[in-house]
Structure 1
Amino acid sequence: MTLQHTRDVALAEWWAGAAVHWSTLVELGPPGFEAYCRVSFPVGDVWRPESEVFDDLASLLRQHTTDAGRECLFALWDGWGDIDGTEAVGMLTALSDTGQWFTRMFGKPRPPQVPPAFGATIMGAPRVAIGERQFLLFRGPLDQAGSWGARPIAVDWPARQISIPNLTWPADHSWSVAADAGHNTMGIGGSRRLIERIVLHPRLDARHVTYPEAA
């Protein structure tokens, strides 16, 4: 099962249209929540995949989502190189598959051109615009976060991996998660109880933060 793309970018207006500097919106989320925190992605000797950290966070988010918010919205930054597709993407994907990269790179020809991650309908769809960022919008259950339904690079090549969601929120707007490209943190807004549980989670490197003043 994968997320479903939606052209209804108005669903993101409550976030994208907030009167806050765009960098705050994509790094920390929209204003108005009781509390906020940042979760850092571990680096160095304690490195964990971003998807694993997101899954730990999602396990708490599910417990603070009402029935009305079971469906979530997921925004994917369209600046990831893997979305447009290039020959370099095929090279990097092969090299990242450490168990079979030599066979894939030298045992068979590389694809002459890596196709875009999505078909023309999605690639040409309206974007959610927040400052210097443009996002494709998807919807579905929280446990499918990151399952974009992207097309494979080529037959017998590794599955195309893009990113964890860059913006995530439930239909009832009870919390938000922002994971901007190029930053090593996620910004989360929600109830005080949710934020406190995130900060105390033993597998999450989280800290309380104060939301900036509105512009």
Structure 2
Amino acid sequence: MARSPDEVQPPHRIEDLSSARWIEESVGGFDSGVHALLPSGFEAYVRLLHPSEPSDGRFERWAEVAQRSGRAWHPLVRFEDVAGPDDEPPWRGSLPEPVLAALCPVLAAETGTPRQCLFGLWEGWGWCDDNGPIVQLSGRAYVLYEGPAEAAMATGDRSAGVFFPQSPNLWWPRDRAWCVATDVDLDSTYIGGSARLAERLAGAPGIEVVPAALDDRLG
């Protein structure tokens, strides 16, 4: 059973960036599509679609929006391609808590090091402690943290004494079984891992994924 953010300890800041070198060395250039976010070498890649949030507060899958609008649906679809004029756009740059809560246990079950995960948070968040070494990719720089997979539920802004969640922008386990990227400008999260992980994500309640490839365009 997924735990709430209040029950999870946040990850701790680390300054040794050696665990991120493989990502820095294997991601693509700024305009290389999904490869700009994730390293090569995984058996499968998927695109996790951030849900729409209508005014009634419930979350809605893109497939539901497309079915209601009667518009074409395909793995590279943009939300505006399927949405009607009254559909609320998905969250950008962060996964909603229910989706993150559904994702964490699936990822934890697909690594041999679920208690040792690395979390990159974009250095541009105003509340983020960006003093110290930074993981530098082609288009973004990240402050690095470490903790168990479930600690992804506890990252965010605590500076005002109130917790404002922000899912990690880049995270992976020490054994490199998978890697997750949620770029600050995108309404989709991209995941690389095994074919079994991709299959499990496709069947997981509360998660909507479509197949992806490293050369898929972004946005």
Q: Normalised by the size of structure 2, how large is the TM-score?
A: 0.69
Between stretches 167-176 and 200-209, larger displacement belongs to 200-209
> Which has the higher relative contact order, 1 or 2, with Cα contacts under 8 A spaced 6 or more apart?
1
Distance 1:182 1:78, change over 3 A: same
Whole-angstrom CA distance in 1 between matches of 2:125 and 2:34: 19
CA contact (8 A) 1:27 1:187 kept: no
CA contact (8 A) 2:100 2:153 kept: no
Task: Report the Cα offset of residue 190 of structure 1.
Answer: 0.6
Whole-angstrom CA distance in 2 between matches of 1:77 and 1:194: 25
1:114-153 map, 5 Å? 117-118=128-129, 123-148=130-155, 151-153=158-160
Task: Report the Cα offset of residue 160 of structure 1.
Answer: 3.9
Q: CA RMSD in A?
A: 2.4
CA contact (8 A) 1:27 1:179 kept: no
1:1-215 map, 5 Å? 1-18=9-26, 20-22=28-30, 24=33, 28-45=37-54, 46-47=58-59, 50-66=96-112, 68-81=113-126, 83=127, 117-118=128-129, 123-148=130-155, 151-153=158-160, 159-212=162-215
Which AA in structure 2 matches 1:34? E
Distance 1:63 1:51, change over 3 A: same
Distance 1:167 1:33, change over 3 A: same
Which AA in structure 1 matches 2:205? P
Structure 2 counterpart SS, 1:204: coil
Q: Which residue of 1 aligns with 2:85?
A: none
Structure 1 segments of 4+ aligned residues over 6 angstroms from their partners: none
Structure 2 counterpart SS, 1:202: coil
Whole-angstrom CA distance in 2 between matches of 1:133 and 1:139: 19
Structure with more helix by fraction: 1
Which AA in structure 1 matches 2:59? W
CA contact (8 A) 1:128 1:134 kept: yes
Which AA in structure 1 matches 2:18? A
Q: Normalised by the size of structure 1, how large is the TM-score?
A: 0.71
The number of residue pairs the alignment matches comes to 170
Whole-angstrom CA distance in 2 between matches of 1:149 and 1:42: 20
Between stretches 44-53 and 173-182, larger displacement belongs to 44-53
CA contact (8 A) 1:41 1:47 kept: no
Task: Report the Cα offset of residue 151 of structure 1.
Answer: 4.7
Task: Report the Cα offset of residue 11 of structure 1.
Answer: 1.4
Structure 2 counterpart SS, 1:186: strand
Whole-angstrom CA distance in 2 between matches of 1:53 and 1:80: 21
Distance 1:11 1:25, change over 3 A: farther
Whole-angstrom CA distance in 1 between matches of 2:159 and 2:44: 40
What is the percent sequence identity of the aligned residues?
Answer: 31
Structure 2 counterpart SS, 1:13: helix
In structure 2, runs of 5+ residues without a counterpart are: 1-8, 61-94
In structure 1, runs of 5+ residues without a counterpart are: 84-116
Whole-angstrom CA distance in 2 between matches of 1:202 and 1:148: 23
